[in-house]
A = this chain, B = another copy of it.
Amino acid sequence: MKQLHSAEPGFADAFDALVREVRDGGSPIDAPVRAILADVRARGDAALCDYTDRFDRHPQPLAPEALRISADEIDDATGSIEPSLLDALSVAARRIERFHRAQMPADLRFDDEDGLTLGMRWTALDAVGLYVPGGKAAYPSSVLMNAIPARVAGVGRIAMCVPCPGGQLAPLVLAAARLAGVSEIYRIGGAQAVAALAYGTETITPVDRIVGPGNAFVAEAKRQVFGHVGIDSIAGPSEVVIVADALNDPDHVAIDLLAQAEHDELAQSILITDDAAFAARVAESVERLLQTLPRETIARASWSRYGAVLVVERWTQAWELVNRLAPEHLQLMLADDAEAFAAIRHAGAIFRGRFCPEAIGDYVGGPNHVLPTSRTARFASGLSVFDFIKRTTWIEAGAEAIGRVGPAAVTLAEAEGLQAHAASVAMRLAATGRKA
């Protein structure tokens, strides 16, 4: 065994080695991403600059000093944004913060009938990394949705990475990051950004968990660093189920279906209704409204390939269909949704009422818009403060308490063949004059 003394020279290094020591074997990993991760671990900032020069084609080679986007650059970018847009971002940020504050759980502590004190406490992660995709997929709303829960949870440090293709900054993304309380922003992306967040470089201190969407390289890199740091789940294509009665305006239902479809050719929009004539009117509206959309091609591809209209005989059937689909987003557009709300067990987020389209939740509702896709709402939840805190359970027991519960522990440890376990309890029982 190692013996370390903090007063001795070399203690810090020896302790570092202890902390870093890996106690398991390797596992098969995907080659190109593995190579990038290894290179960033080995060469740090220099590797980050090389990959950025190669993939993001900035006008000038990137120097390590310029990896971090400066406060002046953020000021300039933010200053270029229309005030009405900044106001809208602020409305969203305020509402997201309010909801996530309400979501924070309380600690637990109680004395039980055997004389033990038991507890569970929640503590924040020290540091979180936020990946933000570059180019067109850089949504400021997603920056708010990922960063604000971390800040509300009490995370001390939020480091963000966003690639800047061609060297171009995304002003709205930077403004959202500032508003959300992001501590540091780096102009890097891809697997190299994930490596920097997970393992650190000269410039970037490592984090404990990495969240945020990204391309296939980013997803694979997150998968590979998982275990060393935490990651969020890999999101699939988005989907909505709308349960609507015939009293709705067909155009409203149609545009809500299309709001989902315009995300992505792989998105899925499903209407469930009890009225075939109403379903037909919605389908007509969809065809008409499709032609008005700038993203018509994408929305049409999604609707043609994955769109669906389900007509049920009785509403109770609808609730069961929703439970089978376990949709990411569920809109309930019914005269009275109490029965539906009680019967539906599996959905990422529910939007209730004829005036509450899912797009409200994407921006200003307050609850998170990062939600479980592809039927995973059967077992998974949306992003929340729970992603940025963790539980520590604790037990406090004195001689009296151990006298009550110790003998059962000794019996079970012996039955499992773990004699040191049994002895560790039996020695306490002996010290208090009790028999195991």
Contact = CB atoms under 8 A, between A and B. Distances in A.
A409 interface: yes
A299 to B, nearest CB: 7
Interface in A157-202: 172
A360 B102 contact: no
Given A6-B317, A30-B28, A424-B357, A118 B392 contact: no
Contacts of A2: 307-309
Chain A interface residue count: which class?
35 or more
Contacts of A21: 306
Given A141-B416, A420-B299, A15 B268 contact: no
Contact of A421 (B108, B362, B392, B431): B362
A373 B294 CA distance: 50
A112 interface: yes
A378 B208 contact: yes
Interface stretch (A35-43, A45-53, A62-70, A90-98): A90-98
A95 B360 contact: no
Contact of A252 (B118, B141, B428): B428
Interface in A85-137: 85, 87-89, 91-92, 95, 98-99, 102-103, 105, 108, 110, 112, 114, 116, 118, 120, 123-126, 136
Copies of this protein, total = 2
A431 B428 CA distance: 73
Interface in A335-385: 341, 345-368, 372, 374-382, 384
B362 A413 contact: yes
B95 A418 contact: no
14 contacts: A1-B309, A3-B308, A7-B311, A88-B411, A88-B412, A103-B120, A230-B376, A251-B427, A256-B424, A293-B419, A355-B399, A356-B402, A363-B408, A363-B413
Interface in A252-270: 252, 255-256, 258-259, 261-263, 266, 268
Sorted nearest first, the 5 A-B pairs with minimum C-beta distance are A1-B307, A367-B393, A230-B379, A88-B411, A91-B408
Contact of A360 (B99, B249, B362, B409): B409
A124 B377 CA distance: 11
Contacts of A420: 255, 258-259, 261-262, 289, 293, 295, 299
A112 B395 contact: no
Given A6-B311, A307-B2, A359 B413 contact: yes
A406 interface: yes
In the complex, which of the residues A18, A230, A359, A428 has the most CB atoms of chain B within 10 Å of its own CB atom?
A359
A324 interface: yes
